[in-house]
Amino acid sequence: MRRPPSGRSPVLDSGLAGPLSASCSSSWPFSRRQCLDLLQSRPSLSALKQIHARTLRAGVPVSSADLGKHLILAIATLPSPLVAYAERVFCLICRPSVFTYNTIIRLHAESDSPGPALPLLPRMLAAGLWPDTHTYPFLLKACAKLLYGRDGKVIHGRAVHDGLAVGSVFVQNSLLHLYAACGLFESAHQLFEEMPVRNLVTWNTIINGFAINGRPNEALTLYRDMMTPRPPSTEEQPAVQDPVEPDGFTMVSLLSACAELGALVLGRRVHVYLWKVGLDRNSHVGNALIDLYAKCGTIGDARKVFDEMAHTRTAVSWTSLIVGLAVNGFGKEALGLFGDMGRAGLSPTEITFVGVLYACSHCGLVDDGFRYFDRMRMDYGIAPKIEHFGCMVDLLGRAGLVDRAYSFILGMPMEPNAVVWRTLLGACAMHKRTDLGEAAWARLEQLDPGHSGDFVLLSNLYASDRRWEDVHRIRRSMVKGE
C-alpha cells in the first residue's frame, strides 16, 4: 500500500484511521468514485476521518480539488462542523472552485466566529473566480452574525453589480435579515418594498427583525400587509403574488410585538385567529400567548392558556407563567407553580430563578429568597448570574435591609453593573437613605450617566431631607443633560 503523497496525514497520525465499519471494509480498495460517494453519504466525524485516511492511502492527492471539495462539504454537513479541519483541507487544495469557496465561507459563517468568512471574497476574486447566488447568502450570514452592517452594504453593492441581488430571493432575504439584525430599518424597508418576489421567509425575516429590535408597530403593520393581498395588477405593475400563509414563527413574532405594545385587544383577535387555523396547538405560540397575557396584566388568561397546554408545556411555558405571576404581584402563586414544575419533572432554567427571586422580593420573603438563591447552584447546578444578584439586591432593598443590600453588592463575585446600582438607588429612595443613595448615584454617574429616572430618585431623596439646594442642583444638571 502506498503512503499518501504529502507524507503526514493528521488523521493517520492521530490514530483515528481505524478499520472502517463492516459495510465498507470488505471491499477495499475503493475506487475514487466510491470514496466520493461515501463522503456524500453524510458520514459521522469518525467515519469521515477514516474515509479521508483511506482516500489518501489509495493515492488520491491531498491537493485534489475533487476530494477536497467533497471532504469540506462532508465536514460542513456534520452536526458540529470542525472549521479548523476544513480549513486545513482547504489550504491544501490547488485551485478551489467557487463551490469549495462557498462551502468554506458557509462553514465560517455558521461557526461561532464568522470573521474569517469575509476575507475569502477578495481571495476568490483574486483567484479569478466570480461569486454566485450561493456565495452571497453565506457572506451575508457572516455579516449579520457579526452585526457588520457596513460590510454588508458593500457586499450588497457587489451583488447588485454582479446582477445577483435582484433575481435571487435567497440573496434578498439574506440582505433583509442583515439589515434588520443591524438595526438598519430604512435599508431593510426599502429593499423589502423593491422585492419582486416575497416568500414566507421574507415576511418572517422582516416581521421578526422589526419585532425583536424595538419596532413592534412596524411589525404589526407588516403582518397586516402580509394578510392583505397586494392591489390588483395594473399594466405597469407585475402580477399579484400568491398570498403567503403565516406559520408558527410568524405568530410568535407577532405576539411578542403585541406583548411589547400591551396591545391586548389585537392580541385577543390574533388568539382567535390562531384557534381557527389550529396554530394555537404550537407550543411556541402557546408560550408567546402566556407572555402576551402576562405582560398585558390579564394573568387569568395566561393561566388558561397554560392549563390548555397540558401536553405541550416546556420549561419556557412554566417559566413564562412563573415570571408573569411574580411581576403581576402573585408571588405566592408563582412559588407554588415553581414547586409544581419540579413535581412535573421539568428542570428550571436560570430565567425561572429570576422569576422565583422576583416573587420572593415582592412578598418580602427574604430568607426564602436566599434559600432559592443557594438551591440554584446546589440543586440545579446553575451558577447565579448578575441578574440573580440584582434580584437579591432588590429583595434586600425592598425589605428595608438597605445596608445589607449594599454589603451584598460589595461582596459580589463580579463587577456590579448599572442595573444593580440603580436597584440600590431605588431602595434608598423607598427607605429614605440619602447616604447610600449618594454612593449608588456616584457609581451610576461613572457607569451609565444621564438616566432621568436616576435624577428623579436622587432629587426625591434630597427633598425628603429638605436639602433644597441639592434638589435644585440635581434638577439643573438634569435639564442640562450632564
Partner DNA sequence: TGGAGAATTG
**Grid cell listed for 260:** 411589547
Q: Does 308 bind DNA (CB under 7 A)?
A: no
Q: Determine the interface stretch with DNA among 51-59, 246-254, 298-306, 361-369 (rule: CB under 7 A).
A: 246-254
Buried b (16+ CB within 10 A) or exposed e, 193-217: eebeebbebbbbbbbbbbbbbebbe
Q: Determine the interface stretch with DNA among 14-22, 279-287, 366-374, 444-452 (rule: CB under 7 A).
A: 279-287
Q: Does 417 bind DNA (CB under 7 A)?
A: no
User: Which residue in the set 34, 199, 221, 312 belongs to the binding site for DNA (CB under 7 A)?
Assistant: 199
Question: Which residues in the 441-480 window bind DNA by CB under 7 A?
Answer: none
Question: Which residues in the 110-149 window bind DNA by CB under 7 A?
Answer: 132-138, 141, 144
Q: Does 422 bind DNA (CB under 7 A)?
A: no
- The Cα 392–Cα 423 span in angstroms is 10
Taking alpha carbons only, the member of 295, 290, 287, 343 closest to residue 312 is 287
**Grid cell listed for 154:** 458593500
Q: Does 171 bind DNA (CB under 7 A)?
A: yes
* Cis peptide bond N-terminal to 29, omega within 30: yes
User: Which residue in the set 111, 205, 328, 361 belongs to the binding site for DNA (CB under 7 A)?
Assistant: 205
**Residue 322: CB minimum distance to DNA, A:** 8
Q: Does 208 bind DNA (CB under 7 A)?
A: yes
Q: Which is nearer to DNA, 4 or 348 (CB)?
A: 348
**Grid cell listed for 300:** 387569568
Q: Which is nearer to DNA, 263 or 461 (CB)?
A: 263
Phi, psi for residue 444 in degrees, rounded to 5? -65, -35
Taking alpha carbons only, the member of 285, 331, 332, 327 closest to residue 308 is 285
**Residue 388: CB minimum distance to DNA, A:** 8
**Residue 264: CB minimum distance to DNA, A:** 15
Site string for DNA, 287-306 (x = CB under 7 A): xx--x---x-----------
**Residue 1: CB minimum distance to DNA, A:** 29
Q: Are 456 and 430 in contact (CB under 8 A)?
A: no
**Grid cell listed for 257:** 410585538
Taking alpha carbons only, the member of 101, 96, 45 closest to residue 75 is 45
Q: Determine the interface stretch with DNA among 11-19, 96-104, 147-155, 305-313 (rule: CB under 7 A).
A: 96-104
Taking alpha carbons only, the member of 149, 156, 151, 139 closest to residue 191 is 156
Taking alpha carbons only, the member of 422, 446, 424 closest to residue 436 is 424
Distances (CA, A) of 211 to 190, 218, 221, 228, 290: 17, 8, 11, 19, 17
Question: Which residues in the 312-371 window bind DNA by CB under 7 A?
Answer: 314-316, 319-320, 323, 327, 349-352, 354-355, 358
**Residue 301: CB minimum distance to DNA, A:** 15
**Residue 316: CB minimum distance to DNA, A:** 4
Q: Does 264 bind DNA (CB under 7 A)?
A: no
Site string for DNA, 17-56 (x = CB under 7 A): ----------------------------------------
**Residue 133: CB minimum distance to DNA, A:** 3
- The Cα 142–Cα 110 span in angstroms is 7
**Residue 286: CB minimum distance to DNA, A:** 7
**Residue 358: CB minimum distance to DNA, A:** 6
Q: Does 108 bind DNA (CB under 7 A)?
A: no
Q: Is the dihedral of CA 144, 148, 154, 158 positive or negative?
A: negative
Q: Which is nearer to DNA, 288 or 376 (CB)?
A: 288
Q: Does 380 bind DNA (CB under 7 A)?
A: no
Q: Which is nearer to DNA, 34 or 97 (CB)?
A: 97
Q: Does 256 bind DNA (CB under 7 A)?
A: yes
Tell me the site size for DNA, rule CB under 7 A. Answer: 63
**Residue 324: CB minimum distance to DNA, A:** 7
DSSP structural state of residue 7: S
User: What torsion, rounded to 10 degrees, do the Cα atoms 77, 78, 84, 85 define?
Assistant: -90
- The Cα 422–Cα 84 span in angstroms is 44
Q: Are 149 and 179 in contact (CB under 8 A)?
A: yes
Q: Are 246 and 274 in contact (CB under 8 A)?
A: no
Helices of type H across 93-168 = 98-110, 120-126, 135-146, 149-161
**Grid cell listed for 434:** 440619602
Taking alpha carbons only, the member of 307, 371, 296 closest to residue 340 is 307
Amino acid of residue 28: W
User: Which residue in the set 9, 64, 187, 204 belongs to the binding site for DNA (CB under 7 A)?
Assistant: 204
- Run of H or E including 428: helix 418-431
Q: Does 177 bind DNA (CB under 7 A)?
A: yes
Positions that interact with DNA (CB under 7 A): 69, 73, 97-99, 102-103, 106, 132-138, 141, 144, 168-171, 173-174, 177, 199-202, 204-205, 208, 212, 247-249, 252-253, 256, 259, 282-285, 287-288, 291, 295, 314-316, 319-320, 323, 327, 349-352, 354-355, 358, 385, 387
